[in-house]
Amino acid sequence: MSLRIVVCVKYVPDATGDRQFTEDLTVNRDDVDGLLSELDEYAVEQALQISENSDDDVEITVLTVGPEDAKDALRKALSMGADKAIHVEDDDLHGTDVMGTSLVLAKAIEKAGYDLVITGMASTDGTMGVLPAILAERLGVPQATLLSEVKVEDGTVTGRRDGDSASEQLQASLPALVSVTDQSGEARYPSFKGIMAAKKKPVESWDLEDLEIEADEVGLEGSWTAVDSAAQRPARTAGTIVKDEGEGGKQLAEFLAGQKFI
């Protein structure tokens, strides 16, 4: 048996950098260093663990949609141990929203062939967290999302979803889509050997034509949502800071009482 896993990853601006919007109100991807979204590292890690724990012949493909630099995210995933990569890149993709991105991913996943799709829980830039559910809807496969624990055995995926009111055990037949949380297990660092090996791993480039997607289905024009304005939040006005000289707790209580919290 073989198991084909496609891991969707995103190349995002570093959250510790000074993130800004551009004039067309899309995310400025030029002035801040980019990297593989931290939350997607967990998805790559779980794919690798599924592969390591499986008797099947597992092939892991990492897939991204993004500009030229997004190759860095694929390289990172390959150096962690994924087998090959697909980069969907097209100038017409600039400004694509989650509906367009999910369309591109779905077409690419179908073209690549898959038994299991794994994603992170959200991106660290857009932070919507809805792409996995949309992707499952588009692919027409079960969604087992927000898993903190995941296992694949005999054509079935099982896992634990920790919700606010309950922790649930989920089960679905393959093909299926899984998203994993940052609680699923620390992602490994690429080894030197892994980094060297990644340079020789295949990275395919596809454009919209390869996926039979029209330009007007994606991009800023094809977006199903419109951002009218983006304003930097005014810096919070400097507050009062006191050094505790033995009365710090009481001073704080006085402040809270003044604000009517007590």
Partner 1 sequence: MAEVLVYVDHVDGAVRKPTLELLTLARRIGEPVAVALGAGADATAAVLAEHGAVKVLTADAPEFAEYLVVPKVDALQAAYDAVSPAAVLVPSSAEGKEIAARLAVRIGSGIITDAVDLEAGDEGPVATQSAFAASFTTKSRVSKGTPVITVKPNSAPVEAAPAAGAVEALAVTFGALATGTKVTGRTPRESTGRPELTEAAIVVSGGRGVNGAENFGIIEELADSLGAAVGASRAAVDAGWYPHTNQVGQTGKSVSPQLYIASGISGAIQHRAGMQTSKTIVAINKDAEAPIFDLVDYGVVGDLFAVVPQLTAEIKARKG
Site for partner 1 in 113-132 (CB under 8 A): 121-122, 124-125, 127-132
Q: Would you say how long the chain is, in residues?
A: 262
Cα-Cα end-to-end distance for the chain? 65
For partner 1, the binding residues in 151-190 under the rule CB under 8 A are: 158, 161-173, 176, 181-183
What is the nearest approach in angstroms of partner 1 to the Cβ of residue 165? 6
Query: How far apart are the C-alpha atoms of 77 and 43, rounded to whole Å?
Result: 10
For partner 1, the binding residues in 2-21 under the rule CB under 8 A are: 15-16, 19-21
CB-CB contact of 68 with 86 (8 Å): no
The H or E element spanning position 112 is helix 98-112
Site mask for partner 1 (CB under 8 A), range 39-58, x = bound: x-------------------
Query: Using CB under 8 A, which of 40, 97, 115, 149 touches partner 1?
Result: 97
What is the nearest approach in angstroms of partner 1 to the Cβ of residue 211? 17
Query: How far apart are the C-alpha atoms of 216 and 92, rounded to whole Å?
Result: 8
The H or E element spanning position 196 is helix 192-198
Detail the DSSP E strand segments found in 47-140. 57-65, 84-88, 116-119
What is the nearest approach in angstroms of partner 1 to the Cβ of residue 176? 8
Matching residue, tokens 């890690």: 45
The tokens for 74 are 């694929």
What is the nearest approach in angstroms of partner 1 to the Cβ of residue 46? 15
For partner 1, the binding residues in 54-93 under the rule CB under 8 A are: none
Stretch that binds partner 1, among 44-52, 78-86, 206-214, 238-246 (CB under 8 A): 238-246
Closest CA to 35 of 3, 2, 70, 79: 70
For partner 1, the closer CB: 130 or 196: 130
For partner 1, the closer CB: 13 or 75: 13
What is the nearest approach in angstroms of partner 1 to the Cβ of residue 186? 9
SS3 call for 36: strand
> Beta-carbon neighbour count of residue 172 at 10 Å?
18
The tokens for 137 are 């809807």
For partner 1, the closer CB: 210 or 255: 255
Query: How far apart are the C-alpha atoms of 261 and 55, rounded to whole Å?
Result: 60
Query: Using CB under 8 A, which of 73, 134, 198, 213 touches partner 1?
Result: 134
Query: How far apart are the C-alpha atoms of 134 and 28, rounded to whole Å?
Result: 25
What is the nearest approach in angstroms of partner 1 to the Cβ of residue 254? 8
What is the nearest approach in angstroms of partner 1 to the Cβ of residue 174? 11
For partner 1, the closer CB: 2 or 229: 229
Query: Using CB under 8 A, which of 113, 189, 214, 230 touches partner 1?
Result: 230
Closest CA to 14 of 30, 34, 31: 34
Query: Using CB under 8 A, which of 112, 133, 197, 203 touches partner 1?
Result: 133
